[in-house]
Amino acid sequence: MPETQHDYPDVVANYLLQECLGSGFSGSIFRGVNVYNGQQAAVKLQPVDVDCPTNMFERNFYPAIQGGMGIPSLHACGVQGKYDYLVIDLLGPSLDSLFRKSGKDVMDLRSVCCIAMQVISRLEHMHGKGVLHRDIQLGNCVVGLGSNKWLIYMIDFGFSKFFIDQTTRRHIPDSKEPRDFIGNYWFTSVGVHCKGKVPSRRDDMEAVALMLIHLLTPGGLSWTRNGVPRTDAEHDRLIREKRKARPEDLCRGLPAEFEEFLRYCRRLKFEACPDYNYWVNEFRELLGENGYPTSSRFVWPPLDPKVCCPAGRTMPPARRPPANDTDMVGILNELANLQIGERPVLANRNAMVNGVRVNAAEGKKSNTTETTIVLSSGDENTQGKGSAQLPKAAHLAKLRRTVSQVTNNEALAEVVDEFVQVLQTHRSRTLTKEAFAFLDALYKQLADPSVYVRPMRTSLPRDSAEARENAPVQRRYAKQNKLWLLRRDVARARNNQAIAQMVVEFGATINKSSGRTITKDAFAFLDGLSERLRTLA
Ligand SMILES: Nc1ncnc2c1ncn2[C@@H]1O[C@H](COP(=O)(O)OP(=O)(O)OP(=O)(O)O)[C@@H](O)[C@H]1O
């Protein structure tokens, strides 16, 4: 029997109310038992006179989205006495509650990838029916019960909205007028929360990205750490913090997919349909690359890594450790001392950190002497060359000079391998101007060393005449699709000229992207390129 300050009825729509399962801003949810057939359900009650009658809104969306995987069924709804009610499938605990109860600071990578795959699929379903969720958060993702406990359900459609007008079947219009934000403090997109933009599909996706990054960040995203803002000043502070957080800072130390996903969502146009499939596959691949099963089934509590990870694999932590170089050196030294069978721990490209430069006078305070600590990757190609000690820019400049003098494919392949290694070694995955200069030189060697090559990246602004000139090639594909195609096609490139053309397209695609980051497909392309050069040698 419900105990409350509200005088909730004992029975609502034939359901005898039992214990309270959760409470929201203006209502509560009870387990209910059908008095006629004993079936259980969740009964969501809200006083009819609340300022924001979300139950009344919510019931409008069920007919449109019901039947989708991970969408609860609506069994009954209406008004009884002073309460607006919804009777929906009884489900299990929310991700918020599971995570809190685990007492952990971060969630494991496998669980986060499964959440990513499932929640993106839920959005694909909802968006496919013309509905935005607009309140993506851990409390609104709940697991099923019994045989469905691996399945993540989306709940709480009280803030949802049809973005496809039900009469005209057209997308709702954008507006330049800033609007009051709708959603939640933690995960609502920067555009909607901090800039007052009209929410669309991209904002649901960005909320997912922020939620995933939050789960992988010790202590969570920085603006979530002071609790819910209670005053306007606190809210303003939160907005400033959220707004200034750059993807590369939020995702430092995480697998590159998370930063790419966040950037992707933020680049989407107002009416754009996100490529859900692409991202589900990215997170699936990330699972595979880390030795996990690639199923999206959410297993909680997480399995012991020894059980779900093939023998001999070393598991990456949910987050690569340090924010601080001094800590990093300590951890790397410890790692170097570990005796883990015959496998060189640091040789795994995903986990590899070849070298770390640490300033002798601690951090960046001094610009004098630098102590360099180099840990070998165990990779034959770099051993003995001593070049891992060079700063990234100098190393890339040296490679540019080398590539300009190389005359055969085998040697070109070696230089490309070293280029990849330099990019992998450094924390920032941005293609710098030195890296672009290397690509220019590589192109020249592959195409015709005697011709003048117009630099791929110049200091001209992005919308300059030159950028516009290149635009048709760049616009043809979104970055990820283009890189995927390049990665696929380089294996069958007929000759050096064809590869040279791909290098240009590769550079143009990365240059066009907002972060100029090197993605997994980008690395795969470079690897494929060097392999192809060897077979064409
Ligand atoms: N069908 C369900 N089965 C089991 N528990 C549920 C169910 N629906 C909701 N809950 C629990 O109740 C909590 C609140 O649910 P919900 O978000 O739908 O309510 P709300 O009043 O709209 O909340 P808010 O004010 O946060 O938007 C959920 O986090 C979950 O723990």
Identity at 385, one-letter amino acid code: K
Looking at residue 404, what is its pLDDT? 87
- Whether residue 513 is found in the same domain as residue 458: yes
- Whether residue 363 is found in the same domain as residue 427: no
- Whether residue 371 is found in the same domain as residue 409: no
**Which residues neighbour 339 within 8 Å (Cβ) at sequence distance 6 or greater?**
none
Q: What is the pLDDT of residues 410-450, one digit of tens each?
A: 889 999 999 998 888 776 677 888 888 899 889 888 887 77
- Provide the residue range defining the domain that includes 155: 95-310
Select from 537, 524, 517 the least CA-distant residue to 251. Answer: 517
Place of tokens 């709708």: 182
Last residue of a domain, one of 60, 88, 116: 88
Please give the model's pTM, rounded to 2 decimal places: 0.66
Q: What is the pLDDT of residues 242-260, one digit of tens each?
A: 999 999 999 999 999 999 9
- Whether residue 52 is found in the same domain as residue 111: no
Residue 306 assigned as binding residue: no
- Tell me, in angstroms, the distance from the centre of ligand 1 to residue 223's CA: 23
333 found inside a domain: no
Smallest CA separation from ligand 1 atom 24, residue: 24
Last residue of a domain, one of 44, 67, 88: 88
The atom of ligand 1 lying closest to the CA of 90 is 3
DSSP strand pairing (11-12 vs 15-23): antiparallel
The atom of ligand 1 lying closest to the CA of 93 is 31
- Whether residue 525 is found in the same domain as residue 497: yes
Extract the tokens encoding 240. 């400033």
- Whether residue 31 is found in the same domain as residue 118: no
Q: What is the CATH number of the domain that holds 252?
A: 1.10.510.10
Pocket of ligand 1 (CB under 6 A): 21-22, 24-25, 27, 29, 42, 44, 54, 72, 88-91, 94, 97, 139-140, 142, 155-156, 158
Looking at residue 378, what is its pLDDT? 32
Query: What are the C-alpha distances in Å from 264 to residues 116, 479, 515?
Result: 14, 9, 10
327 found inside a domain: no
- Whether residue 370 is found in the same domain as residue 399: no
77 found inside a domain: yes
**Which residues neighbour 36 within 8 Å (Cβ) at sequence distance 6 or greater?**
14
Give the burial class of 55: count Cβ atoms within 10 A of its Cβ; 0-12 exposed, 13-18 middle, 19 or more buried.
Answer: buried
- Whether residue 414 is found in the same domain as residue 283: no
Select from 446, 529, 522, 453 the least CA-distant residue to 483. Answer: 522
- Whether residue 175 is found in the same domain as residue 51: no
Looking at residue 5, what is its pLDDT? 58
Can you tell me whether residue 299 is helix, strand or coil? Answer: coil
Positions marked catalytic: 135
323 found inside a domain: no
- Whether residue 222 is found in the same domain as residue 278: yes
CA-to-CA distance for 188 and 185, rounded, in angstroms? 6
- Tell me, in angstroms, the distance from the centre of ligand 1 to residue 230's CA: 22
CB 480 within 8 A of CB 264: yes
324 found inside a domain: no
CA-to-CA distance for 22 and 389, rounded, in angstroms? 56
CB 215 within 8 A of CB 143: no
Last residue of a domain, one of 64, 88, 112: 88
CA-to-CA distance for 47 and 54, rounded, in angstroms? 10
Assign 3-state DSSP to the chain and report helix, strand, coil percentages, each to 5.
Answer: 45, 10, 45
CB 164 within 8 A of CB 170: yes
162 found inside a domain: yes
- Tell me, in angstroms, the distance from the centre of ligand 1 to residue 140's CA: 7
Smallest CA separation from ligand 1 atom 20, residue: 24
Looking at residue 380, what is its pLDDT? 35
Tell me which H or E stretch contains 96.
helix 95-102
376 found inside a domain: yes
Smallest CA separation from ligand 1 atom 27, residue: 24
| Number of domains, the chain | 4
Smallest CA separation from ligand 1 atom 21, residue: 24
Residue of 6, 23, 29 to mutate, ligand 1, most atoms within 8 A of C-beta: 29
- Whether residue 147 is found in the same domain as residue 30: no
- Whether residue 380 is found in the same domain as residue 429: no
316 found inside a domain: no
Q: How far apart are the first and last CA of the chain?
A: 79
Identity at 199, one-letter amino acid code: P
**Which residues neighbour 329 within 8 Å (Cβ) at sequence distance 6 or greater?**
356, 358, 373
Segments in the chain below pLDDT 70: 1-5, 305-389, 427-428, 451-452, 457-479, 514-515
